Amino acid sequence: MERRSGSDRVQVIDRSVDLLEAVSEGPRSLAEICRATGLSKPTAFRLLAGLAARGVVMKDPVGSTYMLGPSLLRYAPGALAGVGSLVSLGRAELDELASETGETVALHIRSGLERVYVEELPSRHSIRYASLVGSTAPLHLGASGVILLAFMADNQRERTLSLLELSVDRFNRRALEEQLRKARRQGWAMSLGTRLTGASAISTPVRADRLLLALSVIGPSSRLSAATLEGFLPSMRRAAEHLAAVLDLHTPRSLSEASHRSDRSD
């Protein structure tokens, strides 16, 4: 029986993750997947067949495209819990931000075309904005969604915007793209009643090596003018930098850069 070496197994895992990332934004043909990953067609086809056998990807029998499979849904709750556990390591900095601003502090991560609350520190005010960890909101609405879209990889953002065009009624792509350019230019985004009337928020990115999150301060518009929100930015940036460092320290990196750059022609 043929045995794989440790380096071979790492390479298979590395390539399989590349394939999952290639189809993470929607159906793609084998040729498109190969262009995105740099894998040869025989290698990509063999690995996709293995992933399909476990339900992690599936193939459209009509269009012959590949997409993420239903088995991945089993891992979603655990993945969100894992991110939340990592975030808790930087909780002191978030507590300090909540204390300084007096408002609700929240962290979001993207999940498909939605953003998910992975951590929240509710304001102590009796009138406040608060949600539940694990709850979702549309990705294209609100300051945190703008941040998650603005700071994702260019090709990923293009695919996501195209999917939003197909799935959201009266979606104004041009207006949203202008918001994204502004957010990238200034490093933050603001929402004044955009998603919820009477609620205001300001968000900035937490850019770890393997994760992108949006850090937000949220509260009622009656307390939070645009100038007040902008005044939170220095503290928010310090918290975001600290949290990114914590996530980088505790998020596993590739075991070998060489394996990622290895010859993909098989």
Structure tokens at 96: 């300090």
Residue carrying structure tokens 């040729």? 31
CB atoms within 10 A of CB 78: 9
138 Rama sector, left if φ>0, alpha if ψ -120 to 50, beta otherwise: beta
Q: What are phi and psi of 221, to 5 degrees?
A: -60, -25
68 Rama sector, left if φ>0, alpha if ψ -120 to 50, beta otherwise: beta
Assign 236 a pLDDT band (cuts: 50, 70, 90).
very high
Q: Give the residue from 214, 164, 157 showing the smallest Cα distance to 191.
A: 214
* Residue 150 burial (C-beta neighbours within 10 Å; 0-12, 13-18, 19+): buried
Assign 136 a pLDDT band (cuts: 50, 70, 90).
confident
Give me the domains of the chain, ranges plus CATH numbers.
6-68 (1.10.10.10), 76-250 (3.30.450.40)
Q: What percentage of the chain reaches a pLDDT higher than 90?
A: 39
Structure tokens at 126: 């009796």
Q: How many Å apart are CA 58 and CA 125, to the nearest integer?
A: 48
Is pLDDT at 255 greater than 70 in this prediction? Answer: no
DSSP 29-49: -HHHHHHHH---HHHHHHHHH
Per-residue pLDDT reduced to its tens digit, 92-130 = 888 999 999 999 999 999 888 889 888 888 998 888 887
The average pLDDT across 80-91 equals: 65
CB atoms within 10 A of CB 178: 11
Specify the pLDDT at position 188: 97
Q: Which of 1-10, 70-79, 175-184 has the lowest mean pLDDT?
A: 1-10
Give just the sign of the alpha carbon dihedral 50, 53, 58, 59. Answer: positive
Specify the pLDDT at position 252: 52
Is pLDDT at 2 greater than 60 in this prediction? Answer: no
